Amino acid sequence: MSPSMQALAVVNMKGGVGKTTTAIHLAAGLAGRGTRVLLVDADPQGTVAHVLRVRPAGTLTDLLLGAAPAAVITPGVRPNLDIIAATPSAFALDAQLAGVIQRETVLARALAGLSDYGMVVVDTSPAMSLLTYNALLYATGMVVPIGMDAMALVGARQTLDGVEQIRSLWPAHPLRLLSVVPIGVNMSTHASRATLEALDKDPRMRAHVFRPGIRQCLDLTYATAAAQTIWEYAPRSRAASDYTALVGTIAAAFTESTTAYGQVQETQAVL
């Protein structure tokens, strides 16, 4: 990876917590701030291309089986935003890569020559699969979206357990937890209040919780149906405001890690 380029994984082992929505909005939001962004879909369900209604030039499967990045990148999805799409063919990658040496770092090696981007955002599947390992061993930072239910919290804790395993096996790889993002927050419900209270008590996550989270907003559902980001569909909505704040938080975190990396590494919470 180019020293000037950062990589961010959006991850939670629980499905249905807003990972893809968050990945798309982080990528589009950072692109809107002037950063050239590549959004990589590492989930075989291939939701990114469907949500953005993109006919991909190539797929993640092609890339990991040897195709050049230029052959699989779909450019100009939005200003400053390109994507590498996934399709269900990626479900077979575990078997197809079985004989590859260090197959957990195939993605990092495949993208090593990229220098045209300031940020790569990787959407992941709801499992600690080979593709998720590849995403985490490529990324330098991660965001964990959490839905307002107990199982999403369990999934986040399992994800952090997986990160601990990665750190024990690849201790030289820098991977910081940048933000834990509550999704669909509605403080009038017991579920939201209970989940946020649990996050505040969790020693690994409490220092990283993004407040107020992404508040419950039907406009996000309508924006997805319209193949638009929330800023395109409802720029004055609460979700647009919340995702704008999250993008700013992540941009600031990466700026901090670039300008004072040693200090950040010393003071980060232990996962």
Which CATH number covers residue 202?
A: 3.40.50.300
Q: Is there a contact between 142 and 11 (Cβ–Cβ < 8 Å)?
A: yes
pLDDT tens per residue, range 120-140: 999 999 988 999 999 999 999
pLDDT tens per residue, range 145-173: 999 998 888 989 999 999 999 889 898 88
- Whether 267 is covered by a domain: the verdict is no
Question: Whose CA is closest to 188, among 215, 221, 150?
Answer: 215
Residue with tokens 């994800």: 159
* Structure confidence at residue 5 (pLDDT): 86
pLDDT tens per residue, range 83-116: 999 999 989 898 898 888 889 999 999 999 898 9
Percent of the chain with pLDDT over 90: 73
- Domains contained in the chain, number: 1
- Whether 122 is covered by a domain: the verdict is yes
Using CA atoms, how far apart are residues 69 and 123, in angstroms rounded to an integer? 17
- Whether 142 is covered by a domain: the verdict is yes
Phi, psi (5° rounding) for residue 116? -90, 0
- What angle (nearest 5°) sits at the alpha carbon of residue 213, between those of residues 150 and 12? 50
Range of 129's domain?
A: 6-259
pTM: 0.92
Q: Residue 266: which pLDDT band, with cuts at 50, 70 and 90?
A: very low
* Structure confidence at residue 16 (pLDDT): 87
Q: Is there a contact between 210 and 246 (Cβ–Cβ < 8 Å)?
A: yes
- Whether 1 is covered by a domain: the verdict is no
pLDDT at residue 2 above 90?
no
Who's near 250: CB < 8 A, 6+ residues apart?
8, 26, 30, 141, 143, 178, 179
77 vs 113, higher pLDDT: 77
Using CA atoms, how far apart are residues 59 and 186, in angstroms rounded to an integer? 37
The mean pLDDT value for 62-78 works out to 95
